[in-house]
Amino acid sequence: LAQIPSAEPQNTFSFHPIGWLESCFKEKFGIPRQPGLVKEAWAVLHLPKTEAMREALHGLDSFSHLWLIFIFDRCYEKPWSPRVRPPRLGGDRSMGVFASRAPFRPNPLGMSVVEYKGLDSDDEHWLLKLGGCDLVDGTPILDIKPYLPYVDGVVGASEGWTSEAWPELQVSFSEQALTTIHSIGDDGMRLQALISSCLRQDPRPAYKRGKAEVQEYGFKLEQWNIKFIVRESLATVLELELASAS
Amino acid sequence: LAQIPSAEPQNTFSFHPIGWLESCFKEKFGIPRQPGLVKEAWAVLHLPKTEAMREALHGLDSFSHLWLIFIFDRCYEKPWSPRVRPPRLGGDRSMGVFASRAPFRPNPLGMSVVEYKGLDSDDEHWLLKLGGCDLVDGTPILDIKPYLPYVDGVVGASEGWTSEAWPELQVSFSEQALTTIHSIGDDGMRLQALISSCLRQDPRPAYKRGKAEVQEYGFKLEQWNIKFIVRESLATVLELELASAS
Best interface-test mutation with B: which of A111, A152, A246 has the largest number of B CBs within 10 A? A152
CB contact under 8 A, B160 and A59: yes
Average pLDDT over residues A75-87: 90
pTM: predicted TM-score of the whole model, two decimal places? 0.93
Write the DSSP string, A99-145: GS--S--SS-EEEEEEEEEEEEE-SSEEEEEEES----TT-EEEEEE
User: What residues of A are in contact with residue B146 (Cβ under 8 Å)?
Assistant: 98-101, 160, 162
CB contact under 8 A, B46 and A4: yes
Q: For residue B231, give how far its alpha carbon lies from the nearest alpha carbon of chain A (Å).
A: 28
Output b/e per residue, B152-191; b: 16+ Cβ within 10 A. bbbeebbebbbeeeeeebebebbeebeebbeeeeeeeeeb
pLDDT of the residue at B214: 87
Q: Which of B169, B211, B173 is nearest to B38 (CA)?
A: B169
Burial class from Cβ neighbours inside 10 Å (0-12, 13-18, 19+) for residue A222 reads middle
Count of pairs with CB atoms under 8 A, one residue in A, one in B? 281
pLDDT of the residue at B7: 47
pLDDT classification of A214: cutoffs 50, 70, 90: confident
Of the two residues A8 and A194, the one the predictor is more confident about is A194
Average pLDDT over residues A121-138: 96
Is residue A75 helix, strand or coil? helix
CB contact under 8 A, A154 and B156: no
User: What residues of A are in contact with residue B3 (Cβ under 8 Å)?
Assistant: 137-138, 246
User: What residues of B are in contact with residue A130 (Cβ under 8 Å)?
Assistant: none
Radius of gyration of chain A (CA): 20
CB contact under 8 A, A157 and B65: yes
Write the DSSP string, B27-93: SSTT--SSTTS-TT-EEEEEEE--HHHHHHTTTGGG-SEEEEEEE-GGGTTS---SEE--GGGTTSS
User: What residues of B are in contact with residue A147 (Cβ under 8 Å)?
Assistant: 154, 157
CB contact under 8 A, B100 and A67: no
A20 closest CB neighbour out of B7, B14, B145: B7
User: What residues of B are in contact with residue A22 (Cβ under 8 Å)?
Assistant: 1, 4
User: What residues of B are in contact with residue A55 (Cβ under 8 Å)?
Assistant: 82-83, 96
Q: Does B184 touch chain A (CB under 8 A)?
A: no
Cα dist from A209 to A87, A186, A237, whole Å: 10, 34, 17
pLDDT of the residue at A10: 57
A98 closest CB neighbour out of B20, B57, B95: B57
B143 closest CB neighbour out of A52, A105, A151: A105
ipTM of the complex, rounded to two decimals: 0.92
User: What residues of A are in contact with residue B132 (Cβ under 8 Å)?
Assistant: none
pLDDT of the residue at A1: 32
User: What residues of B are in contact with residue A148 (Cβ under 8 Å)?
Assistant: 34, 101, 159-160, 162
CB contact under 8 A, B5 and A20: yes
Over its length of 246 residues, how does chain B's per-residue pLDDT go in tens digits?
A: 333 444 454 589 999 999 999 999 999 999 998 998 999 999 999 999 999 999 999 999 999 999 999 999 999 988 999 999 988 888 788 999 999 999 999 999 999 999 999 999 999 999 999 999 999 999 999 999 999 999 999 999 999 988 877 889 999 999 999 999 999 998 999 999 999 999 999 999 888 887 878 899 999 999 999 999 999 999 999 999 998 765
Residues 80-119 of A with CB under 8 A from B: 82-83, 94-101, 105-107, 109, 111, 113
pLDDT of the residue at B151: 94
Output b/e per residue, B90-112; b: 16+ Cβ within 10 A. eeeebbbbbbbbbbbbbbbbbbb
pLDDT of the residue at A8: 55
pLDDT classification of A104: cutoffs 50, 70, 90: very high
Q: Does A127 touch chain B (CB under 8 A)?
A: no
pLDDT of the residue at B8: 55
pLDDT of the residue at A61: 95
